[in-house]
Amino acid sequence: MRKPAPDRPASLRALPSMRALGAFATTAKLGSFSKAGAELGMTQSAVSHQIRMLEEQLGQPLFNRLHRNAVLTDAGRDLEITLRDCFERLELGLKRLEQYRKPNQLILHARPAFAQRWLLPRLAGLKARHPEIDLWLFSTDQPIDLARGEIHLAILPLSPADGRDRQGMATRSLFGDLLTPLCTPALARRPKPLRQPADLLSRPLLHDERREDWVRWFAAQDTRASLPTQGYNFGDSGALLQAAAEGLGVALGSLALAAADLEAGRLVAPLPGTIPADQDWSVTLNENAADRPMIQRFLQWLDGEAALTRAWLADWTAVHPAPTAAPAARKRK
C-alpha cells in the first residue's frame, strides 16, 4: 500500500503548479499556444488546458485569445514580469550550486554598459594571467543583494555614501570617471566646426537619465545655455555612447567607457573640458568571501586594470585641458 504523500506547507499549497507556470511563461514569450506547445513538447490543447487551470486558480484571464495569437492582459503582463524575476533568481541559485563542483568559479555582477565596454575587452588578460579562475559574468541593471551569497562581487557606480558602511560588505573605489561631450567626427565638423561650448546647441544633444549633467557641464565651462527639452533619452550609458557613434547627436559620455571608440576614431571629443561623474566605479563584495584566494587574485588583477584606467584618464585631461577664461578686454581711455 502506497504511503500518502506528505502534506505541503500551506504557502506551497497556494502556489500554482510549475507545469502551469511554465506553460504560461512560454506562451507569454512566444505569443502563441501552438508555438508554446512545440517548444514544451506538449499539444496546443494541453498548453491551453494548463493556462485555463491557472486562470481559474487566479480568478482572472491572463491572455486575450485572438485568432492565432495569445496577447497578455494587464494581469498577465504583471505575472509575466514576476515570473521572469523568479526564474532569474532560480537560475542564479542553481548556478550557485555549481560552485560546490567548481571551486574556482567566481560569480561577478556588473552593469551591462560597464561589462561590455570596460570589462569584456580586458578578460583575455585575466584568462592569460589566471586561467584557473572560472568566471561567470552576470550583467543586469536590476538591484542585487550580495548578502544572499549568490554573487561574490559586484562592480557598481557608487557615491562615497552608497553602501560603504553596510554591515558585512566591503566596498572600495576603482576609479572616478569623467564626462565630456562625444560625437562622430562628421558631426563635429558639420554644419560648422564646434569651437566653443555654445556651438553644441546647434547639434542634437543626447541625454541619459541624468539630464542635469549637461547643465553641470555647461556651468563648468562658464557658459549659460538654455538646453532644449527635445532629444533622445537613454536609460543605459552604453546605449547612449552607441547612439553617439551612430551619429544621432552629441552625448555627454563616460570617458572610461568610450576609450576604445575614441582610440579607434569612431568618436571624438570636439571640445575640451570635462566634469567628474558623481559616482565612482566601485567594487563591492561580501566580507565572508573576501579572504578566498581566488577572489584575492581577481581583485589584484582588477586593481591593476583600474590603475591603468586612472592613468589614461589623467593623460587625457593633461592633453585636453579645460579652457581658461579669456581675460577681460581693456577699456579704451
Question: Of the given ranges (37-41, 84-88, 299-303, 313-317), which has the lowest mean pLDDT?
Answer: 84-88
Residues 156 and 293 in one domain: yes
Among residues 257, 277, 297, the one where a domain terminates is 277
Give the model confidence (pLDDT) of 62-107 as tens digits: 999 887 788 999 999 999 999 988 888 888 777 766 665 567 888 8
Domain presence at residue 240: yes
Check if the beta carbon of residue 119 is closer than 8 Å to that of residue 137. Answer: yes
Q: Is residue 6 part of a domain?
A: no
Neighbours of 291 (CB within 10 A): 8
Q: What is d(CA 199, CA 309) in angstroms, rounded to the nearest whole number? A: 30
Distance (Å, rounded) from C-alpha 318 to C-alpha 322? 9
Average pLDDT, the chain: 85
Contact yes or no for 157/111 (Cβ under 8 A): yes
5 domain-assigned: no
How do residues 22-75 score in pLDDT, each as one tens digit?
A: 999 999 999 999 999 999 999 999 999 999 999 999 999 999 988 778 899 999
- What whole-number distance in Å separates Cα of residue 275 and Cα of residue 282? 18
Domain that holds residue 25: 15-93
* Judgement on whether residues 184 and 268 belong to the same structural domain of the protein: yes
Clarify whether residues 39 and 161 are in a common domain. no
Q: What is the pLDDT of residue 9?
A: 47
Any bridge partners for residue 138, and if so which? 109
- The tally of domains found in the chain comes to 3
Regarding whether 145 and 54 lie in a shared domain, the answer is no
DSSP for 122-177 reads: GHHHHHHH-TT-EEEEEE-SS---GGGSS-SEEEEEE-TTSSTT-TTEEEEEEEEE
Q: How does residue 328 score in pLDDT terms, banded at 50, 70 and 90?
A: very low
Mean pLDDT within 256-277: 94
Same domain, 83 and 172: no
CATH code, domain with 74: 1.10.10.10
Give the pLDDT band (50/70/90) at residue 121: very high
With a cut of 80, say whether residue 127 has pLDDT above it: yes
Q: What is the DSSP letter of 201?
A: G
CA 43 to chain centre: 38
Q: Are residues 19 and 168 in the same domain?
A: no
Q: Output Rg (C-alpha) for the chain, integer angstroms.
A: 26
Residue 8 belongs to a domain: no
134-139 and 105-110 strand pairing: parallel
Least confident of 152-166, 167-181, 209-223, 263-277: 152-166
Q: CA 228, 229, 235: angle at the middle one, nearest 5?
A: 115
Q: Within a 13 Å sphere around the CA of 68, how many CA atoms are in the beta-carbon half?
A: 1
Q: Kindly state the average pLDDT of the residues 243-268.
A: 96
Grid cell in block for residue 231: 532629444
Neighbours of 44 (CB within 10 A): 14
Same domain, 244 and 270: yes
In terms of Cα–Cα distance, which of 108, 161, 103 is closest to 301? 108
CB 62 within 8 A of CB 76: yes
Last residue of a domain, one of 39, 70, 93: 93
Q: Is residue 10 part of a domain?
A: no
Q: Span 314-322, mean pLDDT?
A: 86
Which one, of 255, 277, 274, lies nearest residue 323 by Cα?
Answer: 274
